[in-house]
Copies of this chain bind each other. A is one copy, B any other.
């Protein structure tokens, strides 16, 4: 994959922010890869978050500003970064899910079977995390990873910007496109709570406003289900990440509310994952009814966490300036 772009130019004055950003991310990646003070990921050190962070940002930047790079080269590098980030993300997700479900079951006020449910989930998730960890170690030791690291090392020295794409206006347009794609995806989500709901005219829209189906139709009609609506939200999470990294890449300040919105979507994904893990665990053959009861409870709680995260996202998003068809990236 480490095919070098044929039309490399120094970014003399053009998009120096983008170049500096990619270089900095590449440097972070390499530093995390070799491991600071000998505690690299292969030795069980905690450099995985730094590796994941840098790999995600490099891949996102190549994606958003694709016109600035040779298509074949950037597609190849992105594919390899996606492969490697995917392996790291899998391990992180299992660990986060285990933490989340353990926390949820730690204080079980009267729940039947909570301890057995916790033990069951711990067994399942520890196993899954172990497998994911092995996959990461295997990836780190592979020739494929070393080729990826070589390609990132080249990026750390010299960013292969195409000459015709180095104009600031083009880069800003591409960042603007990422922002508009995000806004469109958010607009396609179910409506959030209105900004000026009035308890007099609308005495009980439920805790999540219009986003949630607690209405007069019944207490649980259309209640927090089992993830039918999740994919659209996961997509918004990815688009928000692309937008955020595009702002970073062009040197713009990332609004704290954007970070808060991203955190809400991370929580959304984690809770959705935890809910489906709880549901899957309940299908274990021969579990005790009390264990199944606790898992059912847990599943519902996590689905409510999903809805709470959606509410938090809408709330934060509404306080952000609307980018629609305007390029607000500096």
Which stretch from A24-32, A132-140, A215-223 is at the chain B interface? A215-223
Task: Please indicate which of the listed interface residues A219, A267, A299, A316 has the most CB atoms of chain B within 10 Å of its own CB.
Answer: A219
Q: Are A271 and B219 in contact, CB atoms less than 8 angstroms apart?
A: yes
- The count of chain A contact residues (Cβ–Cβ below 8 Å) is 65
* A264 nearest in chain B by CB position: B204
A311 sits at the interface (CB 8 A): yes
Tell yes or no: A300 within 8 A of B by CB.
yes
Tell which of A52-60, A74-82, A155-163, A287-295 binds the partner. Answer: A287-295
A143 to chain B, nearest CB (A): 40
Tell me, rounded to whole Å, the shortest Cβ–Cβ distance linking A222 to chain B: 7
| Cα separation A303 to B167 with both chains bound (whole Å) | 57
Interface residues of A in 66-91 (CB under 8 A from B): none
A180 to B69, CA, bound (A): 71
The chain B residue with its CB closest to the CB of A218 is B103
Q: Is the CB of A200 within 8 A of B291?
A: no
Q: Which residues of B contact A298 (CB under 8 A)?
A: 296, 300
Binary per-residue interface labels of chain A (232-270) against chain B in the complex, 1 for a CB within 8 Å, 0 otherwise: 000000000000000000000000110010011001001
Q: How far is the CB of A97 from chain B (nearest CB, A)?
A: 11
| B-side contacts of A226, CB under 8 Å | 109-111
Quick one: which of A97-154 are within 8 Å of B by CB? Answer: 100, 103-104, 106-107, 109-112
Are A103 and B219 closer than 8 Å at their CB atoms? yes
Given contact pairs A289-B289, A297-B297, A300-B301, A207 touches B308 in the complex (Cβ within 8 A): yes
Q: What is the CA–CA distance of A287 and B287 in the complex, to the nearest angstrom?
A: 12
